[in-house]
């Protein structure tokens, strides 16, 4: 039986953590890779308010900023425009300085 991929969408680290919990409940235990991933997520993630931040960043309606970029921003939580530029330089996207500042303001308000 071959597995068929119906659709793909980027998920944040907090969503991955939730999915692993669902799999754990369903299968009673995780395989080796899933266990290692779960260990990593427990040490390096903070899932409070990430869904809300994701919605706020989407509501900014910044041109060319796609879901994959928003997920990466929510995962890393940059504090400065320079950190945000570093994150986005891995993608073929240009965002003007005004919109970069809006993103950072939104992230900083959400993270307190």
pLDDT tens sequence across 65-87:
999 999 999 988 899 999 999 99
Instruction: Clarify whether residues 54 and 89 are in a common domain.
Output: yes
Instruction: Clarify whether residues 54 and 102 are in a common domain.
Output: yes
Q: Who contacts 38 (Cβ-Cβ below 8 Å, separation ≥6)?
A: 17, 20, 24, 30
- Prediction pTM value: 0.76
Angle, vertex CA 36, rays to CA 22 and CA 40, nearest 5: 90
What band does 47 get if pLDDT is binned at 50, 70 and 90?
low
pLDDT tens sequence across 92-104:
888 999 999 999 9
Instruction: Clarify whether residues 105 and 85 are in a common domain.
Output: yes
Contact 40, 62 (CB under 8 A): no
* pLDDT for 72: 92
* pLDDT for 100: 94
pLDDT tens sequence across 21-45:
898 888 888 889 989 988 888 877 7
Residue 10's closest CA among 60, 61, 57, 70? 70
Instruction: Clarify whether residues 64 and 102 are in a common domain.
Output: yes
Is residue 61 in a domain?
Answer: yes
Instruction: Clarify whether residues 58 and 27 are in a common domain.
Output: no
Give the number of domains in the chain. 2
């Amino acid at each position: 039986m071959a597995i068929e991929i119906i659709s793909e969408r980027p998920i944040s680290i907090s969503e991955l953590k939730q999915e692993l919990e669902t799999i754990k409940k369903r299968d009673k235990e995780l395989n080796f890779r899933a266990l290692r991933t779960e260990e990593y997520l427990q040490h390096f993630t903070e899932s409070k308010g990430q869904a809300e931040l994701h919605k706020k960043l989407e509501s900014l309606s910044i041109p060319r900023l796609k879901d994959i970029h928003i997920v990466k921003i929510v995962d890393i939580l940059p504090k400065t425009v320079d950190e945000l530029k570093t994150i986005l330089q891995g993608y073929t996207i240009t965002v003007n300085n005004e919109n970069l500042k809006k993103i950072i303001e939104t992230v900083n308000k959400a993270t307190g």
